[in-house]
Structure formats: structure tokens, C-alpha cells
Structure 1
Amino acid sequence: MTASRPVAIVTGSATGVGAATALLLAQRGWNVAVNYSKSETEARATQAACEAAGAETVLVRGSVAEDADCRAIVQAAVGRWERVDALVNNAGVSVFGAAAGWDALDVEAFQRIYAVNTIGSFQMVRAAVEHLKAARGCVVNVSSIAGSLGIGSSVPYIASKGALNSMTLHLARTLAPEIRVNAVCPGLITSPWFIKGIGQEGAEKLAANYEKIAPLARPSSPEDVAEAIVWLVTGAKTTTGELLLLDSGMHLGGRAPQIAGTPGTK
């Protein structure tokens, strides 16, 4: 057993950003607890990739919306390696419904989305906090520009990520100096998540529009977001309470207008 390797728990790490983060941490010398709630086949593929990169892993099924599952996820890591150095709260859900589609935004939608995106992140921190303190470790919450700019797939999702951002700031103050707490706030990500929500054609149109508007003219890949998460875990030793925007500059309000006679125009 490689007991000297640091240990990370990555929730929702079967696919997308979670899978990319688990693999990158494995490649950087970490052991990883891979978590999933439904996608077992994909989670096992993530586990295999991490082990091929030299990591030890533990695979844990559980929904972060359930406090008992959160405690079991943490215990699986502690039982295997007797430590937790980093917690990446990546598990998230949404419902795709524009503001006009009020019928899709009932109380059950709010409760389900908050249960995973906001309450689940808190429950994971609470379950892991003593181990993180012992390791002088860190938490990275995977939020969204939805919580900063008020744009996104639906009102419940936007509200849940805004709450997650506020909670990140509170926990950064409360858990210092032993634990650093930060969040990444991606914009559009090229992952199957949007395709499942709005279909292939809708996702392609969304990406094309994003590329036209965003100053850097590109969405993020899961690997782009994973790189930022891993930097916050391994390299940002004096960073806490940061809401790191990964939106290709969308928060700037779009590209600057091109005026004839200015540099870069004709």
C-alpha cells in the first residue's frame, strides 16, 4: 500500500469533470476515491484509468444527497488509507427549463437540485472535516458561472450554485487555517451533460453561440476544468475563499466591439 501518497475524494467522478479530475490527480501521484450514484460502468472505467496511472483506488457508490452515503464515502477512503487530503465536491444535477417553463420548476425540482448541489457538498465537508484538518488539506467545490452571473440551465440550478458559492466563502473563513476551501466556476463545458439535457442539436447551437460571444472563443473541456481543480488542490497554498471563473471571459460581457481604425481591425 502506498501510504505516503495523498488521498483525494472526488464525488461524481464517473464521467466528465469528475473523471478528468480523478485521472489527473492519479497521474500527479494521488490515490483516489472514485464515487458514482448511477453510472457504474463509467465509474469502473475511471477507476481502471486511475490505476493504470499508478494510483490505488476505492470505488464507492453513493448519493451525496444522503448524509449516510456521504459518511460512507469518506469512511471508504479512511478505511483504505487512513487519511483524506482533498475533497472535490463535483457531483451535481440540474433540470433544463427556461424561465418561461415554470411548470418544470416545481418544489421537487428545487429540493432535488439543492439536495445534491448544495446540501450534498456541505454533508461531504462535514463528513470529511476532521480528516482534512489532520492533513491540513483542502476542499474544491465545482460550482458554475450560473451562481455568479445568474445564467444557466434553470432557476433551481442557478440558485443552488449561488448558494454553493456563498457557502464556499463561509467555509473558507470557518475552516481556516487548517483547511483551504475554494470553488471553480466553469462556463460551458464540452461534456455529455449538455447533450443529455438539451439534445445534440441544442448542445451544438449552444457551443457555437458561446464561441461567438466569449472573449476566448471556446468552451472548456473537462480536462481544462480538471487542471484548475488540481492546481487549487496541489499548488494554491495561499489561496482560499476563491471563486475561480473558468468561462473564457464570459463574465466580461462578451467581446469588445470592433471599431474601424483601432488595432486589430480594418
Structure 2
Amino acid sequence: MITGVFVGGTSGIGRAMAQAFARHTNGNAHIVIIGRNKIAAAELIASFPKADTNAIHEFIPCDVSLITNVHNTTSELARRLQRIDYLVLSSGILIFAGRNETSEGLDDKMALSYYSRWTFIHDLIPLMQKSERGAKVNLLTYDHILDKINLLEQKFAKEEPNMSFNHAFPGFVRSPMLTPSTWYWKIPYYLVYPIFSFISVTPEVSGDIHFAALLESPPGFHSYNPKGKLMQYKPAEEETVEIVWEHTLELTERLHEH
């Protein structure tokens, strides 16, 4: 049975992509939602099409801002799943403030948007290698982490030529990320939001766009714009890729050991 894992899938675009996947498979899939909000996950799973008796729709709680938690979750998935065909990573926060450290000493924005995503992919590669259709990975992200995301996917795509690694830039989306608590400009939130609403799309629209792009993506590394169209990408120097890769590997393994 086809298997899809959605990290950060309890809200926003990740939730919408999980719903698109459930519709695409008519619910006849093993769908794993990973996040912190159990109630939201239960509501999401209840919205999936009714499936046959072999389908499994489940929630695994995990605060992915802590890399130790990510390692624990990937270990659990390795024990329980036979393979992974689709991996969607959408966890993140849109905050324009300065550094805010997690208990592991990482900036929370970097932990959520980069280190946790790298760890999920790295740890789950063995399960994705078992996909008979060629596993597909999708990372939804924003400009503040764009370069590092591209570097990690460039490296993964080189090492796993049968898999598809996709970086989706969603653009302006009316997701739960956009709340007054994330607004740090001097312009009042209530004045900015109506303008933002006019130029943005709903998570459902964005989710459908990027799930369709994910379905059609061939093996290799690809970058997609908010409309789901391929963007040009100039590969980074191999030396740069290796420096970032080794740093990330060392840091995430050190946290795993502790």
C-alpha cells in the first residue's frame, strides 16, 4: 500500500497537501501525520475519504524543533513502516524577530526549517529506497532558508538518483503562520492583513498546486515557484555543499548521541 508521511501536516499547506494525497488515493493509503496538535490531526484524518480495511491513517506526536525528537520519531517509523513513497516537510515558523534558542541550543527557525528537515530525510532514506515507484520528497519553505534547503536537496539528489527531491516556494499563503504574534513591522497588523489577503491564496489552493507538481516530478532535484512551475537552479559548488553537509551531519548526530 502506498505510504505518505506529512511532517507539520496539522495545519497550513502541509495539511492541505495531506488532504490532496488522501483524495488522490481515495483514502486507500497509509497516511502518517506528524506534528504537535493531536486535535487538529484527528480532525484532518476524519476528513479523509473512507478507505478500505487495509488503509491506515494515523498521527504521531512530535515537537520537531528538537532534533532528538526527530531522531526518535524516525526510529519509530523505521520499526513500523515497510517503505515511504511520499515525504512532505512543511514545519516552520514565520517570525521576524531575532534568535530564539531551543533547549538544544539551536535557533528555533533554523531547527524547524532546516535541521529537522535534513534529519527526517537523512534518517528515512532507507525506507524511501524501498519505494517501488521512486520516492518523492517535498520541502515547503521560504526565502530565509532557501540556500541551505537547495544545498541539502542537491546533495540528496546526487546520492539517490532514483528519488525526486523538490523544493516548493509557496509564496503568499493565508496560513496559520500569519498571526499578529508574527508581525513585527510598525504597520498595524489589522491594516496589513486585508492587503495580504488580496494578493495571497488559501492553503488549500497552494496545497493542490504543489501536490500536483510533486506527483509529476521526475527523479532529481527540482525547485517550484508558487504556481507549481519549474524554476531554474544553478547548482552550488561541490565544496560548498560538502562543507554545509558535514556541519549538518556532525551537529545532528551529536544531538542524537545525547
Q: TM-score, normalization: structure 2?
A: 0.72
Equivalent pairs: percent with the same residue? Answer: 14
Distance 2:217 2:149 in 1: 20
Q: Which of residues 110, 114, 117 in structure 2 aligns to 1:114?
A: 110
Which aligned pairs between 1:36-55 and structure 2 lie closer than 5 A? Answer: 36-37=35-36, 39-50=37-48, 52=50
Q: 1:139 to 1:223 in 2, by over 3 A?
A: same
CA contact 1:219–1:247 (8 Å) conserved in 2:
no
What TM-score comes out, normalization by structure 1 length?
A: 0.70
Structure 2, unpaired ranges of 5+: 232-258
The residue that corresponds to 1:33 in the other structure is: 32
**C-alpha displacement at 1:79, in angstroms?**
4.9
* Cα offset, 1:182, TM superposition: 0.7
Matches within 5 A, 1:36-75: 36-37=35-36, 39-50=37-48, 52=50, 56-75=56-75
Query: 1:115, 1:50 → 2: CA distance?
Result: 30
Equivalent residue for 1:226? 207
- SS of structure 2 residue aligned to 1:14: coil
Kindly indicate whether the alpha-carbon contact (under 8 Å) linking 1:58 and 1:76 is maintained by their aligned counterparts in 2.
Answer: no
Q: Say if 2:155 is the partner of 1:170.
A: yes
- Residue 115 and residue 127 in structure 1: after superposition, are their counterparts in 2 closer, same or farther (change >3 A)? same
Could you tell me how far apart the structure 2 residues matched to 1:126 and 1:207 are?
Answer: 40
Which of structures 1 and 2 has the larger relative contact order (alpha carbons within 8 angstroms, sep 6+)? 2
C-alpha RMSD of the superposition: 2.9
Partner letter of residue 8 of structure 1? G
In structure 1, distance between residues paired with 2:212 and 2:227:
17
Q: Work out the CA distance in 2 between the residues paired with 1:165 and 1:202.
A: 32
- Other structure's SS at 1:94 match: coil
Distance 1:27 1:68, change over 3 A: same
Aligned to 1:93: 93
Q: Structure 1 residue 63: deviation in Å? A: 2.2
Stretches of structure 1 that go unaligned for 5 or more consecutive residues are 98-104, 148-157, 212-217, 252-266
Q: What SS class does the counterpart of residue 108 from structure 1 fall into?
A: coil
| Alignment match, 1:258 | none
Compute the displacement of 1:234 (Å).
2.1
Say whether residues 1:205 and 2:203 are aligned partners.
no
Q: Which has the larger radius of gyration?
A: 1
How has the CA–CA distance of structure 1 residues 119 and 248 changed in structure 2, closer, same or farther, with 3 Å as cutoff? closer
1:243 correspondence with 2:223? yes
Looking at structure 2, the residues matched to 166 and 79 of structure 1 have their Cα atoms a distance apart, in angstroms, of 29
